[in-house]
Amino acid sequence: MEEGSEFLERAAAKGNRNTEVWDVNWGSTFPCANGAASTLITALALKGKRLIPASAAGEGRKKTEKERKEFQKVQRKRRREVNENGASLQRKDADAERVIAIPPPAFRRFQELHILHFEFDKTETNDSYRKAFNEIVFGATIDIISIMLLFLVVIVTGLFGLYGTAAAVLAGIMSKTGCFFLNLPRPVGFMENNMKHAKTVTRLVGIHRNCSKWYLYVGDRGILGWLLNRPMVEPWEGSPWLACWFHSAHQLQLLAMTFVAVQKGWDGVALTAIMLVAWAFERLPSQDRMARHWIDKFGVVIDAKSFEFTGRFAMIVSHR
């Protein structure tokens, strides 16, 4: 609130300094601009997806359960035939009557590749009930109802003489009220493609150049450009009076908790119960629901698949 867009730029640079994005089409490299948003949306898209084991040649073929068990059986047999020192043993082949050297099991650094395809939903078949539910949950209606219930809690706790708990809840009401006046503007042309000649992009994302988990984003440039490259919030000047309002709520909460700690009575028990209830309610609108709201609002369709390779060479060969 006090520093405006300067704080957002500094926080984004510090928060995502280890996340790199490689533009496969143009060969450029840049830091991820919206690490929190891309992480939430990616986690939702990959939720429930199982890793598909890919062959060493990078074929990307899904193995059957019978093949997987047979491969594990052979691997266990080979490990039993190797001695504890890791040296190769020799055994005699009954058919060819020759000696075969069994090498020790080699170290493998498995690589995970998550491929996500983004595009706009052109069918207009989104669930209207889910959209209406999201509008209620993330709209002003639920906030107004929650503020009214919190005012009721303040009145009840005040009547029972639990003034510290009442003051702490009042501080929460002040914070919720201040959020009504907090409006972060979207940039002009948000979620639109500014390069009409390039409609699709391919971008590879990883924590660093030697990581073992990779994310390949493919799809509409309007979506991926704003998700990975450009900031989702337009530069703004902040609001000093709103910052003062939040500071006042923070000071009130600090005084209320200090008062409750000094009292050492039922006020502390009531405040602990309020904190547990607040913690439980914070878990209800989960991060998946927030990401789902963003996807439904802009009509984005995500198709995700996850693959596991025996090494980086096999993953590179599969790309080619």
Amino acid at 270: A
158 and 228 within one domain:
no
207 and 149 within one domain:
no
Q: Does the residue 225 lie in any domain?
A: yes
68 and 112 within one domain:
yes
What is the model's pLDDT at position 118? Answer: 94
Q: Does the residue 16 lie in any domain?
A: yes
User: Which of 238-247's residues contact partners 24+ apart within 8 Å by CB, and which partners?
Assistant: 238/1, 238/2, 238/3, 238/4, 238/5, 239/1, 239/181, 239/182, 240/1, 240/2, 242/1, 242/178, 242/181, 242/182, 243/1, 243/2, 245/174, 245/178, 246/1, 246/174, 246/175, 246/178
Q: Does the residue 89 lie in any domain?
A: no
46 and 139 within one domain:
no
Q: Are 1 and 258 in contact (CB under 8 A)?
A: no
**What's the total number of domains in the chain?**
2
Q: Does the residue 88 lie in any domain?
A: no
What is the model's pLDDT at position 92? Answer: 45
Q: Does the residue 267 lie in any domain?
A: yes
165 and 133 within one domain:
yes
What is the model's pLDDT at position 303? Answer: 93
What is the model's pLDDT at position 152? Answer: 92
311 and 162 within one domain:
no
Residue 28 has phi, psi (to 5 degrees) of: -85, 160
Amino acid at 68: R
276 and 257 within one domain:
yes
75 and 19 within one domain:
yes
What is the model's pLDDT at position 243? Answer: 87
Q: Does the residue 166 lie in any domain?
A: yes
What is the model's pLDDT at position 236? Answer: 72
What is the model's pLDDT at position 167? Answer: 92
Q: Does the residue 187 lie in any domain?
A: no
145 and 48 within one domain:
no
What is the model's pLDDT at position 57? Answer: 38
Domain that holds residue 45: 1-80+100-126+193-238+304-320
Tokens of 242: 């709103």
61 and 207 within one domain:
yes
293 and 211 within one domain:
no
Q: Is 196 helix (H, G, I), strand (E, B) or coil?
A: coil
Tokens of 61: 């073929």
pLDDT by residue for the chain (320 residues), tens digit each? 666 666 665 665 554 456 788 888 888 888 888 878 888 899 889 988 888 887 543 444 445 566 666 766 766 666 666 544 454 444 444 444 444 455 555 566 788 899 999 999 877 555 556 666 666 556 667 778 888 998 999 999 889 888 889 999 999 999 988 888 887 788 888 888 888 777 889 999 988 787 888 999 999 999 998 998 888 887 777 788 888 999 999 999 999 988 888 877 888 888 888 888 888 877 765 567 778 888 888 889 999 999 888 877 777 776 65
177 and 158 within one domain:
yes
Q: Does the residue 107 lie in any domain?
A: yes
